[in-house]
Amino acid sequence: MNFITFAEKLGIDREAAIKVYRLFDGGYFESLYYSKPPILHKLREWPRKYLSKKLVLIRNIQLNQAFEALIWADIIAIYGMSSKLIDRPFKYDILEKNVEYVYEEIKKYSLSNNFTDYPMALSLDFVKVDFSPFINDLTNKRREEMKASDSEIINDIAYDSKLMEEIKVKYPWAKNVKRENAVRAFQLSERVNEFVDYVIPYIYYLAASKTLHFDYTLISNMISDTIKIVEEEGSKAIKEQEVSSEYQRKVRELFQLIITTLNYF
Q: Domain coordinates of the chain in residue numbers?
A: 1-140, 148-261
Confidence (pLDDT) at 264: 59
Confidence (pLDDT) at 1: 63
Confidence (pLDDT) at 28: 98
Q: Convert the pLDDT of each residue in 44-101 to its tens digit.
A: 999 999 999 999 999 999 999 999 999 999 999 999 999 999 999 999 999 999 999 9
Tell whether the torsion through CA atoms of 25, 27, 29 and 32 is positive or negative.
Answer: positive
Helix (H, G, I), strand (E, B) or coil at 184: helix
Confidence (pLDDT) at 35: 97
Confidence (pLDDT) at 85: 98
What is the mean predicted confidence (pLDDT) over 31-36? Answer: 97
Q: Convert the pLDDT of each residue in 158-210 to its tens digit.
A: 999 999 999 999 999 999 999 999 999 998 888 899 999 999 999 999 999 99
Give 46: exposed, middle or buried? Use CB within 10 Å, 0-12, 13-18, 19+. buried
What is the residue-averaged pLDDT of the chain?
94
Confidence (pLDDT) at 129: 78
Name the residue with higher pLDDT: 116 or 248: 248
Q: Convert the pLDDT of each residue in 116-125 to its tens digit.
A: 889 998 877 7
Query: H/E/C letters for each residue in 125-172?
Result: CCCCCCCHHHHHHHHHHHHHHHHCCHHHHHHHHHHCCHHHHHHHHHCH
